[in-house]
Amino acid sequence: MKIRVGFGFDVHQLVEGRELWLGGIRLEHEKGLLGHSDADVLIHAICDALLGAANMRDIGYHFPDTAGEFKNIDSKILLKKTVELIATKGYSVGNIDATICAERPKLKPHIPAIQQTLSEVMGVDEDDISIKATTTEKLGFTGREEGISAYATVLITKK
């Protein structure tokens, strides 16, 4: 069996007038993330990690923000397409370890729903998806609640 590891990172600005989507679920919050798609930073980081592990470039290459077909798209669709893309090279998802950096909203109560949603989209066991949440202790753009970032590390396998 061949294994490969990938790393992904994404950040989006928090703005009024947008819904907040993280890990494929909508969260109640006074601000949402600004982006061409639904701006789900967690899913975007996971997509980049999967594509990087398979040596297939990045999310912007496959789903450019200049393409009208991806305007306001649900990022779960992008994640499903990414899993299909890595499968064209014989890879499948082994496990994911991801961290979301946000001051608010508090994410701990939402982690099980995020894991379940991602599990369904990717067709992997919930136990293979680790989601963590942290703050930056009021430091930087995250601490000032100007944006949210996410990091993801993935393992992919080829039989």
CATH number at residue 93: 3.30.1330.50
Indicate the length of the chain as a whole number. 159
User: Was 41 annotated as part of a binding site?
Assistant: no
Tell me: the pLDDT tens digits for 136-151? Answer: 999 999 999 999 999 9
> Which of 8, 3, 15, 28 is closest to 100 using CA atoms?
8
* Cβ-defined contacts of 138-142 (< 8 Å, 24+): 138/103, 141/11, 142/101, 142/102, 142/103
- The tokens for 84 are 């299909």
Q: Residue 86: enclosing H or E segment and its boundaries?
A: helix 75-87
Give the per-residue pLDDT at 116. 98
User: Was 148 annotated as part of a binding site?
Assistant: no
User: Was 92 annotated as part of a binding site?
Assistant: no
> Which of 20, 52, 56, 57 is closest to 35 using CA atoms?
20
Q: Is 159 exposed, middle or buried (0-12, 13-18, 19+ CB in 10 A)?
A: exposed
Amino acid at 55: N
User: Was 97 annotated as part of a binding site?
Assistant: no
Give the per-residue pLDDT at 67. 83
Domain count, the chain: 1
Residue range of the domain that includes 99: 2-158
Question: pLDDT below 70 — which residues of the chain?
Answer: none
User: Was 7 annotated as part of a binding site?
Assistant: no
Give the per-residue pLDDT at 75. 97
Q: Is 108 exposed, middle or buried (0-12, 13-18, 19+ CB in 10 A)?
A: exposed
